[in-house]
């Protein structure tokens, strides 16, 4: 005691009260034996029975200060800032301050510990709640804020995903025919623009096949519009089956369809495709026990007949070939084997001369 100075008061705090104030305290005896621990530290380490009376070094590793000795911790740890780790898995990290309790040789050392930046992992690994922390501890409040932020971010991500899905659905709906589910005219225009760009870049070929149903008006007039819808859906499904994955099938009018066929395709192969489509369409479609009979006229133009590929000219020539097929009796496919090169007009030439027949109105 220093003469002339008042004696510092000594506060005796019961272990239970100390545990409420500092749930993570650790009290070591002079020989490094564990005398008492706070309730949260006991929970993390497996209970009081596993700790009290056992050597400090049996349960804890000293990360810093590096000069500390687990075999004789008192001289090295008293009064130091510490970084510890539990020996048992998952090796939870601890940090804190060690202060002597009375004369070190008598009272030992008291540690006030916390999880520091590893509180998230500690809470998860040991199932901790806010009751395991001191009322004045801000770490749990910060953890709650972080969890709230994570929850908000998760909800925002989910909302964004829903909005993106809705946008994709709206875009798909805007580019789809509502009855058949095929691409509509707008979707066809977009795909044509992309296909022409690829053709200009890579020299890839493509063909346009315009299909117009024959005798479709008679189906509507005889059996009603529901029967007509059945025929249109049947036609769409058949065209999907005939098209390849790289092709596009579009409905561009009431009974008008377009096939965008990608790749280098020979006129004879296109002729065979057109004849196969017509043959399948001429198979009657049943509607409430009544057969609905239709056919089709098809006109096809090939991109390699145009230098450079000109979608407008191709569409015009495909339409001309289609109406030529109608004029020669319907149920025919005409493929333009030549086109416009250098801006010259495309003649109306079929791969094979169609049979002569009087003109028919559609």
Q: Where are the domains of the chain?
A: 15-137, 140-174, 185-336
CA distance 23 to 32: 20
Look at residue 60 and tell me whether its pLDDT is greater than 60: yes
Higher pLDDT, 135 or 310: 310
Residue 87 tokens, joined: 């020996």
Q: Do 15-137 and 185-336 agree at the fold level?
A: no
How is the beta sheet containing 109-114 ordered, strand by strand? 34-37, 25-28, 109-114, 93-100, 81-86, 60-64
CA distance 12 to 18: 10
Lowest mean pLDDT across 85-89, 139-143, 272-276, 311-315: 139-143
Residues in the chain: 362
Look at residue 348 and tell me whether its pLDDT is greater than 50: no
182: which DSSP letter? Answer: -
In whole angstroms, how far apart are CA 216 and each of 153, 256, 295?
55, 10, 8
Convert 171-182 to b/e letters by CB count within 10 Å (16 or more is b): eeeebbbeebeb
Look at residue 76 and tell me whether its pLDDT is greater than 50: yes
Look at residue 156 and tell me whether its pLDDT is greater than 70: yes
The CATH code of the domain at 15-137 is: 3.30.450.260
Higher pLDDT, 298 or 119: 298
Lowest mean pLDDT across 67-76, 85-94, 262-271: 67-76
CA distance 125 to 63: 20
CA distance 59 to 73: 13
Which residues lie across from 213 on neighbouring strands? 296
Look at residue 355 and tell me whether its pLDDT is greater than 80: no
CA distance 298 to 302: 13
Encode pLDDT of 202-250 as tens digits: 878 899 999 999 999 999 999 999 999 999 999 999 999 999 999 999 9
Task: Tell me whether residue 300 is exposed, middle or buried, using C-beta atoms within 10 angstroms of its C-beta: 0 to 12, 13 to 18, 19 or more.
Answer: buried
Q: What is the dihedral of CA 307, 313, 318, 319, to 10 degrees?
A: -170
Q: In the prediction, which pLDDT does 338 show?
A: 65
* DSSP strands (E only) in 81-182: 81-86, 93-100, 109-114
Lowest mean pLDDT across 2-11, 82-91, 118-127, 276-285: 2-11
CATH superfamily, region 185-336: Reverse transcriptase/Diguanylate cyclase domain (3.30.70.270)
Q: Cβ neighbours of residue 105 under 8 Å, at least 6 residues apart?
A: 30
Taking CB atoms within 8 Å and a gap of at least 24, the contacts of 16-22 are: 20/134, 21/134, 22/112, 22/134
């Amino acid at each position: 005691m220093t003469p002339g100075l008042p004696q510092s008061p000594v506060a005796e705090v019961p272990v239970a009260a100390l545990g409420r104030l500092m749930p993570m305290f650790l009290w070591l005896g002079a020989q490094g034996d564990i005398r008492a621990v706070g309730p949260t530290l006991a929970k993390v380490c497996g209970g009081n029975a596993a700790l009290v009376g056992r050597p400090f070094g049996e349960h804890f590793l000293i990360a810093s200060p590096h000069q500390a000795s687990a075999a004789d911790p008192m001289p090295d740890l008293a009064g130091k800032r510490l970084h510890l780790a539990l020996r048992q898995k998952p090796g939870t990290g601890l940090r804190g301050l060690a202060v002597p309790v009375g004369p070190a040789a008598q009272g030992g050392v008291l540690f006030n510990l916390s999880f520091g930046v590893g509180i998230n992992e500690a809470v998860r690994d040991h199932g901790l709640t806010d009751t395991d922390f001191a009322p004045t501890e801000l770490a749990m409040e910060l953890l709650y804020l972080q969890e709230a932020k994570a929850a908000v971010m998760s909800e925002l991500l989910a909302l964004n995903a829903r909005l993106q899905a809705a946008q994709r659905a709206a875009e798909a709906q805007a580019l789809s025919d509502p009855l058949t589910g095929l691409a509509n005219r707008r979707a066809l225009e977009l795909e044509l623009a992309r296909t022409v760009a690829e053709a200009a870049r890579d020299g890839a070929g493509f063909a346009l096949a315009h299909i117009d149903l024959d005798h479709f008006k008679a189906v509507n007039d005889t059996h009603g519009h529901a029967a007509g819808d059945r025929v249109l859906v049947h036609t769409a499904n058949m065209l999907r089956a005939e098209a390849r994955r790289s092709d596009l099938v579009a409905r561009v009018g009431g009974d008008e369809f377009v096939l965008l066929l990608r790749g280098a395709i020979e006129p004879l192969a296109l002729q065979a495709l057109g004849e196969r489509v017509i043959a399948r369409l001429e198979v009657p479609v049943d509607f409430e026990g009544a057969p609905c009979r239709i056919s089709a006229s098809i006109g096809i133009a090939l991109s390699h007949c145009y230098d450079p590929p000109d979608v407008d000219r191709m569409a015009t020539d495909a339409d001309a070939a289609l109406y030529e097929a109608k004029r020669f009796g319907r149920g025919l496919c005409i493929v333009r084997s030549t086109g416009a090169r250098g801006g010259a007009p495309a003649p109306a030439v079929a791969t094979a001369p169609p049979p002569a027949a009087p003109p028919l109105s559609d």
